[in-house]
Chain A
Amino acid sequence: GAGVSQSPSNKVTEKGKDVELRCDPISGHTALYWYRQSLGQGLEFLIYFQGNSAPDKSGLPSDRFSAERTGGSVSTLTIQRTQQEDSAVYLCASSEPGQGKNEQYFGPGTRLTVT
Protein backbone atom coordinates (compact mmCIF):
# COMPACT_ATOMS: atom_id res chain seq x y z
CA GLY A 1 0.00 0.00 0.00
CA ALA A 2 0.96 3.65 -0.17
CA GLY A 3 3.49 4.88 2.36
CA VAL A 4 3.87 8.27 3.96
CA SER A 5 4.23 10.97 1.35
CA GLN A 6 5.58 14.47 1.73
CA SER A 7 5.59 17.48 -0.51
CA PRO A 8 7.46 19.26 -1.83
CA SER A 9 10.54 17.05 -1.87
CA ASN A 10 12.75 20.13 -2.10
CA LYS A 11 12.03 23.74 -1.26
CA VAL A 12 14.35 26.71 -1.69
CA THR A 13 13.09 29.93 -0.21
CA GLU A 14 14.39 33.36 0.62
CA LYS A 15 14.96 34.41 4.18
CA GLY A 16 11.85 36.01 5.60
CA LYS A 17 9.36 34.12 3.44
CA ASP A 18 6.76 31.71 4.81
CA VAL A 19 6.75 28.05 3.76
CA GLU A 20 4.25 25.21 4.07
CA LEU A 21 5.28 21.58 4.14
CA ARG A 22 2.74 18.83 3.66
CA CYS A 23 2.53 15.29 4.99
CA ASP A 24 0.10 12.57 3.92
CA PRO A 25 0.27 9.75 6.49
CA ILE A 26 -0.59 6.13 5.85
CA SER A 27 -4.36 5.70 5.81
CA GLY A 28 -5.67 4.67 9.22
CA HIS A 29 -2.62 5.82 11.14
CA THR A 30 -3.77 8.02 13.98
CA ALA A 31 -0.37 9.16 15.18
CA LEU A 32 1.63 11.67 13.16
CA TYR A 33 5.01 13.17 13.97
CA TRP A 34 7.15 15.94 12.55
CA TYR A 35 10.93 15.91 12.97
CA ARG A 36 13.74 18.09 11.73
CA GLN A 37 17.15 16.77 10.79
CA SER A 38 20.08 19.03 10.04
CA LEU A 39 23.01 17.72 8.00
CA GLY A 40 24.86 15.03 9.91
CA GLN A 41 22.64 15.41 12.96
CA GLY A 42 19.98 13.30 14.63
CA LEU A 43 16.24 13.75 14.50
CA GLU A 44 14.88 16.72 16.42
CA PHE A 45 11.29 16.18 17.57
CA LEU A 46 8.96 19.03 16.60
CA ILE A 47 5.32 18.07 17.16
CA TYR A 48 3.15 14.99 17.70
CA PHE A 49 -0.53 14.46 16.85
CA GLN A 50 -2.45 11.54 18.32
CA GLY A 51 -6.03 11.12 17.20
CA ASN A 52 -8.27 13.88 18.51
CA SER A 53 -6.04 14.70 21.48
CA ALA A 54 -4.33 18.06 21.78
CA PRO A 55 -1.01 17.90 19.95
CA ASP A 56 2.28 17.78 21.81
CA LYS A 57 4.01 20.92 20.58
CA SER A 58 6.87 20.80 23.03
CA GLY A 59 9.51 20.44 20.31
CA LEU A 60 8.61 23.47 18.21
CA PRO A 61 11.71 25.71 18.34
CA SER A 62 9.90 29.05 18.15
CA ASP A 63 6.52 30.62 17.57
CA ARG A 64 7.40 30.91 13.88
CA PHE A 65 6.64 27.19 13.65
CA SER A 66 3.13 25.79 13.68
CA ALA A 67 1.40 22.67 12.47
CA GLU A 68 -2.12 21.53 11.78
CA ARG A 69 -3.69 18.20 11.14
CA THR A 70 -7.02 18.44 9.36
CA GLY A 71 -9.58 15.68 9.64
CA GLY A 72 -7.12 13.44 11.42
CA SER A 73 -5.20 12.84 8.23
CA VAL A 74 -3.10 15.32 6.25
CA SER A 75 -0.79 17.59 8.22
CA THR A 76 0.80 20.88 7.29
CA LEU A 77 3.89 22.32 8.97
CA THR A 78 4.18 26.07 8.51
CA ILE A 79 7.31 28.09 9.10
CA GLN A 80 6.85 31.84 9.10
CA ARG A 81 9.57 34.39 8.37
CA THR A 82 12.09 31.67 7.59
CA GLN A 83 15.66 32.01 8.81
CA GLN A 84 18.81 30.38 7.46
CA GLU A 85 19.03 28.15 10.54
CA ASP A 86 15.68 26.63 9.51
CA SER A 87 17.46 24.89 6.62
CA ALA A 88 17.14 21.15 7.23
CA VAL A 89 15.28 18.04 6.14
CA TYR A 90 11.80 17.96 7.63
CA LEU A 91 10.60 14.40 8.17
CA CYS A 92 7.07 13.25 8.84
CA ALA A 93 6.19 9.86 10.30
CA SER A 94 2.98 8.05 11.15
CA SER A 95 2.11 5.01 13.20
CA GLU A 96 -0.89 2.78 13.78
CA PRO A 97 -3.21 3.17 16.73
CA GLY A 98 -3.18 0.68 19.55
CA GLN A 99 -0.99 -0.63 22.28
CA GLY A 100 2.23 -2.07 20.94
CA LYS A 101 1.84 -0.43 17.56
CA ASN A 102 4.98 1.59 17.84
CA GLU A 103 6.71 1.30 14.50
CA GLN A 104 6.98 4.67 12.82
CA TYR A 105 6.83 4.86 9.07
CA PHE A 106 8.71 7.82 7.68
CA GLY A 107 8.13 9.84 4.58
CA PRO A 108 11.04 10.75 2.32
CA GLY A 109 11.25 14.22 3.83
CA THR A 110 11.25 17.77 2.52
CA ARG A 111 14.67 19.35 2.11
CA LEU A 112 14.30 23.03 2.98
CA THR A 113 16.99 25.51 2.02
CA VAL A 114 16.69 29.10 3.18
CA THR A 115 18.93 31.48 1.25
Chain B
Amino acid sequence: RKEVEQDPGPFNVPEGATVAFNCTYSNSASQSFFWYRQDCRKEPKLLMSVYSSGNEDGRFTAQLNRASQYISLLIRDSKLSDSATYLCVARYSSASKIIFGSGTRLSIRP
Protein backbone atom coordinates (compact mmCIF):
# COMPACT_ATOMS: atom_id res chain seq x y z
CA ARG B 1 0.00 0.00 0.00
CA LYS B 2 1.31 3.45 -0.90
CA GLU B 3 2.01 5.79 1.99
CA VAL B 4 0.01 8.57 0.36
CA GLU B 5 -2.75 7.71 -2.10
CA GLN B 6 -4.74 9.90 -4.44
CA ASP B 7 -7.35 9.38 -7.13
CA PRO B 8 -5.36 10.06 -10.31
CA GLY B 9 -8.40 11.51 -12.09
CA PRO B 10 -8.64 13.21 -14.44
CA PHE B 11 -11.36 15.41 -13.06
CA ASN B 12 -12.89 17.34 -15.94
CA VAL B 13 -15.22 20.11 -14.75
CA PRO B 14 -16.71 23.27 -16.26
CA GLU B 15 -15.39 26.68 -15.36
CA GLY B 16 -17.11 28.04 -12.28
CA ALA B 17 -17.80 24.62 -10.79
CA THR B 18 -16.74 23.46 -7.35
CA VAL B 19 -14.46 20.46 -7.27
CA ALA B 20 -13.05 18.47 -4.39
CA PHE B 21 -10.58 15.66 -4.07
CA ASN B 22 -9.25 13.60 -1.22
CA CYS B 23 -5.98 12.01 -0.33
CA THR B 24 -5.41 9.24 2.22
CA TYR B 25 -2.27 8.57 4.20
CA SER B 26 -1.24 5.35 5.87
CA ASN B 27 1.02 6.50 8.70
CA SER B 28 -1.11 7.73 11.59
CA ALA B 29 1.97 9.44 13.04
CA SER B 30 2.14 11.87 10.12
CA GLN B 31 2.29 15.40 11.41
CA SER B 32 2.34 17.81 8.51
CA PHE B 33 0.31 17.90 5.32
CA PHE B 34 0.38 20.00 2.21
CA TRP B 35 -1.07 20.41 -1.23
CA TYR B 36 1.30 21.16 -4.09
CA ARG B 37 0.38 22.12 -7.60
CA GLN B 38 2.27 20.96 -10.67
CA ASP B 39 1.69 22.40 -14.10
CA CYS B 40 2.50 20.35 -17.17
CA ARG B 41 6.26 19.87 -17.57
CA LYS B 42 6.96 22.19 -14.64
CA GLU B 43 8.23 21.62 -11.14
CA PRO B 44 5.78 21.32 -8.20
CA LYS B 45 5.03 24.43 -6.14
CA LEU B 46 3.42 24.72 -2.74
CA LEU B 47 -0.28 25.56 -2.93
CA MET B 48 -1.12 25.49 0.75
CA SER B 49 -0.38 23.82 4.04
CA VAL B 50 -3.16 21.84 5.72
CA TYR B 51 -3.94 22.55 9.36
CA SER B 52 -5.96 20.45 11.78
CA SER B 53 -8.62 23.12 12.06
CA GLY B 54 -8.92 23.43 8.31
CA ASN B 55 -7.78 26.46 6.40
CA GLU B 56 -8.87 28.60 3.52
CA ASP B 57 -6.94 30.62 1.00
CA GLY B 58 -9.24 32.46 -1.36
CA ARG B 59 -11.10 29.89 -3.43
CA PHE B 60 -9.15 27.01 -1.92
CA THR B 61 -10.07 25.17 1.27
CA ALA B 62 -8.04 22.37 2.80
CA GLN B 63 -9.27 20.00 5.51
CA LEU B 64 -7.57 17.35 7.61
CA ASN B 65 -9.40 14.38 9.12
CA ARG B 66 -6.99 12.59 11.42
CA ALA B 67 -9.49 9.97 12.55
CA SER B 68 -9.99 8.75 8.99
CA GLN B 69 -6.50 9.69 7.87
CA TYR B 70 -7.37 11.80 4.89
CA ILE B 71 -6.95 15.34 3.69
CA SER B 72 -9.07 17.14 1.18
CA LEU B 73 -8.85 20.09 -1.17
CA LEU B 74 -11.89 22.04 -2.28
CA ILE B 75 -11.73 24.52 -5.13
CA ARG B 76 -14.65 26.89 -5.53
CA ASP B 77 -15.53 28.93 -8.63
CA SER B 78 -12.90 27.07 -10.62
CA LYS B 79 -10.91 28.94 -13.26
CA LEU B 80 -9.28 27.71 -16.43
CA SER B 81 -5.94 28.46 -14.79
CA ASP B 82 -6.67 25.91 -12.07
CA SER B 83 -6.00 23.14 -14.58
CA ALA B 84 -3.01 21.28 -13.19
CA THR B 85 -2.02 18.22 -11.22
CA TYR B 86 -2.55 18.52 -7.47
CA LEU B 87 -0.13 16.61 -5.29
CA CYS B 88 -0.91 15.57 -1.74
CA VAL B 89 2.04 15.54 0.65
CA ALA B 90 2.58 14.09 4.12
CA ARG B 91 5.47 14.41 6.49
CA TYR B 92 5.96 12.36 9.66
CA SER B 93 8.12 14.86 11.50
CA SER B 94 10.32 17.86 10.84
CA ALA B 95 13.31 15.54 10.58
CA SER B 96 11.82 12.98 8.25
CA LYS B 97 11.40 12.71 4.54
CA ILE B 98 8.42 14.16 2.74
CA ILE B 99 6.13 11.77 0.87
CA PHE B 100 4.24 12.82 -2.24
CA GLY B 101 1.13 11.24 -3.62
CA SER B 102 0.91 10.44 -7.32
CA GLY B 103 -1.24 13.47 -7.98
CA THR B 104 -4.78 14.19 -9.16
CA ARG B 105 -5.18 15.71 -12.60
CA LEU B 106 -7.71 18.50 -12.87
CA SER B 107 -8.89 19.94 -16.16
CA ILE B 108 -11.21 22.94 -16.24
CA ARG B 109 -13.14 23.39 -19.47
CA PRO B 110 -14.64 26.70 -20.71
Contact = CB atoms under 8 A, between A and B. Distances in A.
Interface string A83-115: 000000001000000111111101111000000
A102 B103 contact: no
Interface residues of A, number: 24
Contacts of A99: 94
B106 to A, nearest CB: 14
A99 B93 CA distance: 9
Contacts of B95: 50, 53
A102 B96 CA distance: 11
Interface in B67-110: 87, 91, 94-103
A42 interface: yes
B97 A45 contact: yes
Given A35-B100, A45-B97, A102 B43 contact: no
Contacts, number: 51
Interface stretch (B11-19, B44-52, B57-65): B44-52
Contact of B102 (A42, A59, A108): A42
A48 interface: yes
A56 B94 contact: no
Given A35-B100, A42-B102, A106 B94 contact: no
Contact of B43 (A53, A59, A107): A107
Contacts of A12: none
16 contacts: A33-B97, A35-B100, A42-B87, A42-B102, A42-B103, A43-B100, A56-B97, A58-B97, A91-B43, A91-B44, A101-B94, A102-B91, A102-B98, A103-B46, A106-B44, A108-B42
